[in-house]
Amino acid sequence: MTKLKNKVAVITGGNSGIGFGIAEAFRKEGAVGAITGRNEATLDLSADALGTNFIGIKGDVTSMNDLENIFKKTADKFGKIDVLVVNAGGIVDGVPMAAINDVTEEHYDRYMDLNLKSAYFSVQKSLSYLNDGASIILIGSSAAHRAAPGMAIYGAAKAAIISLAKGLSLDLLSRRIRVNALSPGSIDTPVFGKIVPQEQLEQVKQIWIDITPAGRQGLPSDIGKAAVFLASEDSAFIVGTEILSDGGLTNIS
C-alpha cells in the first residue's frame, strides 16, 4: 500500500463523507497532508482519526483568503503539494436546492460560488504551492449527466467542473500538472441527512439503491479508491477527462 508514499495531499471538505473517504484511502497508500472544512469539531475528529500524518485546516472554500491560507499552511508543514482534491461542495448551508420559481439571484450565486467558483480558485490559489507533475482531482457528480427536479443549478455547476478539468489541463500542461474530474453517483454520506427529513431518510436512500444498476449506494471508500488511481502514477496518461464512479446510474434513462 505505497502508491502515494510520502506524497503531500490536500483534500478540501475532508472532514466529512466523500472527502474523508478519500483522505482515508490516501493515508492507507502512504500519503501525508491536510484535510479542510469549516466545522472545527468534525475537522478535529477527522484529523485525529487519520493519525499524525494529517492535519486539519479550517477554511471556507468560497473565501480567497482562506484558500490561500490552506495551501500555505500545508506547504509550510509538509513541503510542496503533490495532490489536490477539490471536493468541498454540494448543499449550501440552509439553502435547499429548488426549482426555478423558488430561486433568487442570491440562491443562484451561492450555489455557483460553492460548486464552481470555489473549484476554479482552489486550483488557482494552490498553483504556487504545487509540485510540477502534481495531480488535481475535481469532484464532479453524476448530476452533470442525469437531471433531477430542482437540481438544474447544481447539475450545471458540476457539468462545468468537467469542462474545467479539460481546460485547466491545457493551461497547466507546461508544468505536467494533470487535472481530471471524478464524478460520484449516489454515495451514502451525511449530505442526505442535510436535505431529507430524518423519517424519510431510509426511504430516499432506498430509491437511489433501486435506480442504481449496481444495486447499492456507493461508499466514500469507493470514491477513495478511484481518487488513489487518479492521484497516482497508475493514471499518468489520463489527462483532462472525467471518470464516473456511479454504479451505472448515468446509464439509465
Residue 90 or residue 224: which is nearer to ligand NDP going by CB? 90
Residue 69 or residue 131: which is nearer to ligand NDP going by CB? 69
Query: Closest distance between ligand NDP and the C-beta of residue 173, in Å?
Result: 26
Please say whether the beta carbons of 18 and 87 come within 8 A.
Answer: yes
Residue 114 or residue 159: which is nearer to ligand NDP going by CB? 114
Query: Closest distance between ligand NDP and the C-beta of residue 176, in Å?
Result: 26
Query: Closest distance between ligand NDP and the C-beta of residue 140, in Å?
Result: 7
Residue 89 or residue 224: which is nearer to ligand NDP going by CB? 89
From 111, 120, 129, 154, active-site residue: 154
Query: Closest distance between ligand NDP and the C-beta of residue 234, in Å?
Result: 22
Angle formed at CA 11 by CA 8 and CA 17, multiple of 5 degrees? 140
Around Cβ 246, how many Cβ atoms within 10 Å?
23
Query: Closest distance between ligand NDP and the C-beta of residue 171, in Å?
Result: 22
**Can you give the chain as a three-state secondary structure string?**
CCCCCCCEEEECCCCCHHHHHHHHHHHHCCCEEEEEECCHHHHHHHHHHHCCCEEEEECCCCCHHHHHHHHHHHHHHHCCEEEEEECCCCCECCECCCCHHHCCHHHHHHHHHHHHHHHHHHHHHHHHHEEEEEEEEEECCHHHCCCCCCCHHHHHHHHHHHHHHHHHHHHCHHHCCEEEEEEECCECCCHHHHHCCHHHHHHHHHHHHHHCCCCCCECHHHHHHHHHHHHCHHHCCCCCCEEEECCCHHHCC
* Catalytic (active site) residue 154: yes
Q: Which residue is nearest to ligand NDP (CB)?
A: 17
Residues 55, 32: Cα–Cα separation, whole Å: 9
In the complex, the residues that contact ligand NDP under the rule CB under 6 A are: 13, 15-19, 37-39, 42, 60-62, 87-90, 114, 139, 141, 184, 186-187, 189-191, 194
Residue 107 or residue 131: which is nearer to ligand NDP going by CB? 107
Q: Which residues are catalytic?
A: 154
